[in-house]
Amino acid sequence: MSYFEREKLLDKSSGSIYKLVILAAKRALEIVEGQPKLVTVNSSVKPSTVALFEIADGQIQSKKIKSKE
């Protein structure tokens, strides 16, 4: 089982645990659907863990959406 420092991951998701969960879930779904992995890991590692590795490595980041005003 892998351990990820929560603070390091939160920095990558604008400080929101909810955004982090959504970001990891969406990326894990992309991996399941066939998108290439952006980090080198063993093939037995689950897609959700791969997504967290990618986020921790800075390969995946959340976007800030500008509101229309």
Tell me the average pLDDT across 1-6.
70
> For the whole model, what pTM was predicted?
0.81
Q: Is residue 5 pLDDT above 70, yes or no?
A: yes
Distance between CA atoms of 47 and 28, rounded to whole angstroms?
5
Tell me the average pLDDT across 38-48.
91
Query: Using one digit for the tens of pLDDT, what is the confidence trace for 9-32?
Result: 888 777 888 989 999 999 999 999
Q: Is residue 69 pLDDT above 80, yes or no?
A: no
Residue 38: the pLDDT is 93
Domain residue extents for the chain: 6-57
Distance between CA atoms of 24 and 47, rounded to whole angstroms?
9
